[in-house]
Structure 1
Amino acid sequence: MAELSATATGGAAAAPVGKKKMSLIQLTFLVAVNMMGSGIIMLPTNMAQVGAISLLSWLVTAVGSMAIAYGFAQCGLYNHRPGGMAAYAEDAYGRSGYFLVFFLYFLSLLIANVAIGISAIGYLAGFFPILTSTPFITCMGLIGLLWLTSAANFGGPKITGRIGAVTVWGIILPVGFLSLFGWFWFSPDTFSAAWNPNDLTLREGMRSSISLTLWAFLGMESAAQNSDAVENPKRDVPLACMFGTLGAAFIYILSTAVIQGIVPNADLAASTGPFALAFAQMFNPMVGSIVMALAVLACLGSLLGWQFTIASTAKSASLDRMMPPIFSKVNGMGAPVIGMIILAAAQSGLALMTMSPSLSEQFSALVNLAVVTNVIPYVMALSALLVMMRTAKVSSGKFRTTTAIAFLGMAYSVYAIALSGKDAVFGGTMVMCVGFVIWAWISPRFMTAARAPAT
């Protein structure tokens, strides 16, 4: 997954209060870096199984993602309450909408953590091949990694934040280098042979990897979280949101395109460490091993940060009476340890349920489910933008333009859900139904709180 911010808790990375405000360029760079990370490092393998024709998916996803990102940038300007997408949805759907968006987004983070762990296992297998010797050993290695990164957070958020800020560069630097300089090793013949090995039509090629490419953009909703750190948020936040998403799209498209012309498609499709394989072919196995180690560090840092983020999200929801009180209990260093243990157990169960003969199959299954559970909140939050604009009494021209872009983002979101596969859509539907059942159980406490001032 891209480097998601903790939208559910309003916890995106931001400039320190009281410091000099960020410029448009600085905010754009921050948005792009927040989106990039461990989300891309297994994508070349999964896309190679379709062929280089899957690169067409990037073009569709880039346009749809920019529309979504712009919509969230606008939402952030009209709604400053904590809660991110959940708070946006509340404007149109009330407290029940807040809960459903929070619940689905929270589960998408849970699923994404397991997918990030799979990426780490894939690159770790380059050093310890036994990790991919059988599906069971792979699954046990994944579960061990999930518990290790959870336990590493028991000491509190300070070290976690510092580690994450450094390790994310372990994948950004190699991917950036490959995007800019990998073309010196690019072979048109290799790329041509990889273009359409499965004889897909143009339409099938464009829709083949939509959910995989959208996975790399998940987290674009965090772009508006830094509006208070910018001199001119009304101008700079939407621009940075668009430029940051465009910049990430540029790197994504270039890196996955150039690697198809460096590594033969069959080798790429079977790889558990595609970028390390590319650097090994460009230079030598030693350089490939270094890139593999950097990718492992990036995944571990990302997973470490997200284990804390999701536990903190559960803690905030617990304090808001949307999750059991046990999730809000913290140790002396401020870490919600009991919540972390429960969530690590849930992720372990998810790893067992999605165990597959290959890492790429398990990765794809998790990505598709994460996309569905993440994109439904996108649709709900973006649809609430119309209510926000009417409340703010924006001009008719502004309303029409923003509505058109928001509807483009929603249309793309629905399209992405449809292409995620029947298993992912079924899973997302079941999760949403569970959310309604939970809301029916806890809603009276919020109804009572809402009536209290009037009595």
Structure 2
Amino acid sequence: MASSSARPLGLWMCTALVVGNMIGSGVFMLPASLAPYGWNAVIAWLITIGGALCLALVFARLARAFPRAGGPFAYTEEAFGRPAGFMVAWSYWISVWVSNAALAIAAVSYLSVFVPALAKVPVLAALVTVTVVWVATAINCVGARTAGWTQMVTTVLKLAPLAAVASLAAMILLRKGPAAIAPFEPSALSGSGITAAAALTLWALLGVESATIPAEQVDRPERNIPRSTLLGTAFTGLIYLLVSSGVLLLTPVSVLKDSNAPLVDFMAYHGGGDFRLALAAFAAISALGALNGWVLLQGELPAAMAREGVFPAWMGKTTANGTPVRAHILSSVLVTILVLMNYAKSMADTFTFMALLATASSLFAYLFCSLAVLKLGAQRRMPVSPAFAAVAAVAAVYSAWTFYGAGWSVTFWGLVLLVAGAPVYLLMRRARLAREAAR
């Protein structure tokens, strides 16, 4: 294991990993998926940001108490044992590579502004999407430091178009006043609408735990992981609230609901002029930057699990610079299969389904880590004040509620993928017992 000073990811790279993984395709793609929900979506954003901040505090405290690689797996195993830890690791790994499929699709959706054939020819879009995945995989196979610098650069670049959209929204409000905002109709609000919208908005904030996964690559993990987690989540929540709500409330539903590039269409509708192409380019860069960060996790997580004896040992093999190339390749093969299986759908429909599936898969980790705080605190294995216990309880309830909001179809497929891990767990358990018996 590398010494702390030799590890490539410091505070700002970790923060860029959190912000870059959270600000990916969500803020650029979700206005289309959320358009039918209107003000329900705005309320969902407020609830989601509150829930994400609770989860950020949960992961920050767990990382300080148990600075181990693997993040959600490590914390769940500490509290509930190896079987629960495996379930969380398996479901979270699924969430990561499904997220990568959605992010690659989002990047290609915005590239379709420059190459219209990508929106009209599904096979071409699928092939370009797969190519994007493998380019990101190649960058990460070079090493964590290369991936970290890529994340820093793309995180800075992706903030430029968001600032432009927020500025345009402010100008519209100054010019037209409250009349520009979609009317608030209390009768249109509903519990089911808010719940369904919240399942989508959580997709945009997935990644709150990003800095906890590659702990072995982080300099002073007990200090830098908690700080980057809280700082990155708070900053991202503010950005989403300003940009996404502004686009939703200032643009007709008919403009957004079938859009492959909703922020571009927002700019066009309000006379954005030449900025449309620049915005589309930055949006594609944003999705590609998030893809880079999530590809880092799709390799680091199974490699860490392999070193713990939870996943097959060959997935934990690394190159001379510590890169788990085998885990990266397997994960990207799964992403490729998922993309090719869904190429016949429109990019917007495919993105929405994969975003919900990734969200449902990640919620197992969020729920168990929130409950882990309560159990570890009760066992006095980590300091848990009454106030922090209340935060963890809110995070657990929020996770369960959002799981329900994802819908039965997505929940079903999430459970199918979860059950698919049972043979792997049984094989690994048998191998471990055989090794122990041979000693």
Q: What TM-score bracket applies, with the shorter chain setting the length?
A: 0.7 to 0.9
- Would you say 1:263 and 2:251 are equivalent positions? yes
- Would you say 1:404 and 2:387 are equivalent positions? no
Q: 2:336 aligns with which of 341, 348, 359?
A: 348
Match of 1:159 in 2: 146
Residue deviations 1:29-79 (CA, integer Å, cap 9, x gap)? 986566333332211111113334321111221222222222222222322
* Contact 1:134 1:357 (C-alpha < 8 Å) held by counterparts: no
Q: 1:191 aligns with which of 181, 200, 204?
A: 181
Residue deviations 1:344-387 (CA, integer Å, cap 9, x gap)? 22112111333453222111111111111101111112211123
**Which segment drifts farther, 359-368 or 169-178?**
169-178
- 1:58-137 aligned within 5 A: 58-137=45-124
| Structure-2 separation of matches of 1:298 and 1:433 | 33
Match of 1:3 in 2: none
RMSD between superposed Cα atoms in Å: 3.6
* Contact 1:189 1:261 (C-alpha < 8 Å) held by counterparts: no
* Contact 1:69 1:245 (C-alpha < 8 Å) held by counterparts: yes
* Contact 1:273 1:292 (C-alpha < 8 Å) held by counterparts: yes
- 1:227-246 aligned within 5 A: 228=220, 237=226, 244-246=232-234
- Would you say 1:38 and 2:34 are equivalent positions? no
Q: 2:204 aligns with which of 180, 191, 216?
A: 216
Q: Structure 1 residues 287 and 180 mapped into 2: Cα distance closer, same or farther (>3 Å)? A: closer
Residue deviations 1:273-313 (CA, integer Å, cap 9, x gap)? 22233344556432111121112122223323433431233
| Structure-2 separation of matches of 1:359 and 1:385 | 39
Match of 2:427 in 1: 441
TM-score normalized by the length of structure 2: 0.84
Q: 1:316 aligns with which of 304, 311, 316?
A: 304
Q: Structure 1 residues 313 and 45 mapped into 2: Cα distance closer, same or farther (>3 Å)? A: same
1:210 Cα deviation (Å)? 1.1
| Structure-2 separation of matches of 1:91 and 1:222 | 19
* Contact 1:58 1:213 (C-alpha < 8 Å) held by counterparts: yes
1:332 Cα deviation (Å)? 6.4
| Structure-2 separation of matches of 1:41 and 1:66 | 21
Q: 1:388 aligns with which of 376, 395, 404?
A: 376
* Contact 2:70 2:305 (C-alpha < 8 Å) held by counterparts: no
**Which segment drifts farther, 329-338 or 350-359?**
329-338
Q: Structure 1 residues 171 and 269 mapped into 2: Cα distance closer, same or farther (>3 Å)? A: farther
* Contact 1:78 1:392 (C-alpha < 8 Å) held by counterparts: no
The one-letter amino acid of 2:182's match is S
Q: Structure 1 residues 450 and 406 mapped into 2: Cα distance closer, same or farther (>3 Å)? A: farther
Residue deviations 1:2-34 (CA, integer Å, cap 9, x gap)? xxxxxxxx99xxx96799x979xx998986566
Match of 2:129 in 1: 142
TM-score normalized by the length of structure 1: 0.82
The one-letter amino acid of 1:343's match is S
| Structure-2 separation of matches of 1:223 and 1:174 | 25
* Contact 2:70 2:301 (C-alpha < 8 Å) held by counterparts: no
1:339 Cα deviation (Å)? 4.0
The one-letter amino acid of 1:49's match is P
Match of 2:346 in 1: 358
1:426 Cα deviation (Å)? 0.6
* Contact 1:125 1:131 (C-alpha < 8 Å) held by counterparts: yes
**Which segment drifts farther, 165-174 or 332-341?**
332-341
| Structure-1 separation of matches of 2:372 and 2:105 | 35
- Would you say 1:431 and 2:417 are equivalent positions? yes
| Structure-1 separation of matches of 2:419 and 2:305 | 19
Match of 2:279 in 1: 291
The one-letter amino acid of 2:405's match is L
The one-letter amino acid of 1:123's match is Y
- Would you say 1:419 and 2:405 are equivalent positions? yes
* Contact 1:211 1:367 (C-alpha < 8 Å) held by counterparts: no
Q: Structure 1 residues 75 and 153 mapped into 2: Cα distance closer, same or farther (>3 Å)? A: closer
**Which segment drifts farther, 211-220 or 74-83?**
74-83
| Structure-2 separation of matches of 1:27 and 1:237 | 10
Q: 2:193 aligns with which of 205, 209, 214?
A: 205
| Structure-1 separation of matches of 2:106 and 2:11 | 33
* Contact 2:31 2:256 (C-alpha < 8 Å) held by counterparts: yes
| Structure-2 separation of matches of 1:28 and 1:150 | 21
Q: Structure 1 residues 373 and 166 mapped into 2: Cα distance closer, same or farther (>3 Å)? A: same
Structure 1 gap segments, 5+ residues each: 1-9
1:326 Cα deviation (Å)? 4.0
